[in-house]
Amino acid sequence: MNFSGSITLAHGSGGRVMHQLVDELIRSTFSNPLLEEGEDQARIPLAGLGAQGDRLAFTTDSYVVTPLEFPGGNIGTLAINGTVNDLAVGGAKPLYLSCGFIIEEGLSLETFARILQSMRLAADEAGVQIVTGDTKVVQRGGADKLFINTAGVGVIPAGFNPSAGGAQVGDVVIINGWLGDHGAAILNARGDLALEADIESDCAPLNALVEAMFAACSDIHCLRDATRGGLATVLNEFAERSGVDMVLKEDTLPIRTPVRGMCEILGLDPLYLANEGKLVAVVPAEAAQTVLAAMQRIPAGYHACIIGAVVEGEGHVILQTAFGGERIVDMLPGEQLPRIC
């Protein structure tokens, strides 16, 4: 297929041009046996699923990021990894994804092809297949260049049951690495800050990491990926649902210097910045070292560390500042808006 030119309304018309786009570009990039069957739905044999666990996990998410491409990833890698991670942190082994595109007339074919290619690579890395999909083209102004929806199914092995309400007094809180890289990279990539920071998104699949954690300890109490709303939001959910307090030690929080610097300048709090390859786990103290060691053997967990503990309380997240004081880290009311002075 010729990649020069851009998407037009004809690409969504249902006619020959659309078939060409779907067959020669999308289907050929994602190619796998289930997709090749070319039916209106993917037909997945139950036997294979049943052999891998005792529950099916099913999730969906839509991706609308601006800009489409940024250091460390693009909307396509987000769409794959985001859905893979939503399955993984529920304890599921992610297997099959669907993929819906809403494309604004005018998107360059070359950009679209590049995003598809990185989706394929991300799917391969996570070990999942894109088995069904849909493409719509809307008029200029009807969407912001490209929106992607992905849904995914996976299978949960018997006996693995992390939940937001599972934290117990005495547990420890673990994070798998640097906080806020994705949020900072996106802010930076929008280019209206005139900051010269070198920050890449942490966009990555977490299923291999979760598998290793489960193998090290089948009794992981809470597990979530810390995407929009960041670490603070996830911990607030854990604390509220479990009816306990979570105490974080500020000087153990892994935050890169450029991210810290950007937050200082803009008056933002890195605890609320979005991540796309970070999970938060609450595990029994006696298992903490085993789990950490297992995490640190996997690339997505190289920088895993303990950042806090679960104590008795009424559902608050408390930060012990490096300075010697304490403060409550609440959920954010809305978007973080930079301060003026």
Q: How far apart are CA 224 and CA 215, in angstroms?
A: 17
CB of 304 to another protein, least distance (A): 23
Which residue, 228 or 316, has its beta carbon nearer to another protein?
316
CB of 144 to another protein, least distance (A): 15
Using CB under 8 A, pick the residue from 142, 159, 165, 267 that binds another protein.
Answer: 267
Positive or negative torsion for Cα 137, 141, 142, 144: positive
**Paired residues of 93 in beta bridges:** 155
Q: How far apart are CA 173 and CA 142, in angstroms?
A: 43
Q: How far apart are CA 181 and CA 200, in angstroms?
A: 6
318 binds another protein (CB under 8 A): yes
User: Which amino acid, residue 210?
Assistant: V
Q: How far apart are CA 158 and CA 92, in angstroms?
A: 10
Q: How far apart are CA 307 and CA 41, in angstroms?
A: 45
Which residue, 81 or 188, has its beta carbon nearer to another protein?
188
Which residue, 126 or 232, has its beta carbon nearer to another protein?
232
19 binds another protein (CB under 8 A): no
Which residue, 40 or 323, has its beta carbon nearer to another protein?
323
Using CB under 8 A, pick the residue from 54, 110, 286, 330 that binds another protein.
Answer: 330
322 binds another protein (CB under 8 A): yes
| Three-state SS annotation for 7-58 | CCHHHHCCCHHHHHHHHHHHHHHHCCHHHHCCCCCCCCCHHHHHCCCCEEEE
Contacts 24+ apart (CB under 8 A), 252-257: 252/305, 252/306, 252/307, 252/308, 253/175, 253/179, 253/307, 254/175, 254/177, 254/178, 254/179, 254/303, 254/305, 254/307, 255/178, 255/179, 255/180, 256/178, 256/180, 256/181, 256/199
284 binds another protein (CB under 8 A): no
141 binds another protein (CB under 8 A): no
Which residue, 39 or 330, has its beta carbon nearer to another protein?
330
CB of 263 to another protein, least distance (A): 11
320 binds another protein (CB under 8 A): yes
Which residue, 266 or 298, has its beta carbon nearer to another protein?
266
289 binds another protein (CB under 8 A): no
Give Cβ neighbours of residue 143 (< 8 Å, ≥ 6 apart): 102, 103, 104
Which residues from 161-200 bind another protein, rule CB under 8 A? 192-194
62 binds another protein (CB under 8 A): no
Scanning 21-29, 127-135, 262-270, 297-305 for contacts with another protein by CB under 8 A, the matching segment is 262-270
CB of 268 to another protein, least distance (A): 10
Could you tell me if 268 and 219 are in contact, meaning their C-beta atoms sit under 8 angstroms apart? no
Using CB under 8 A, pick the residue from 69, 261, 290, 311 that binds another protein.
Answer: 261
Which residue, 14 or 324, has its beta carbon nearer to another protein?
324
Site residues, another protein (CB under 8 A): 192-194, 257, 260-261, 264, 266-267, 316, 318-328, 330, 333-334, 337-341
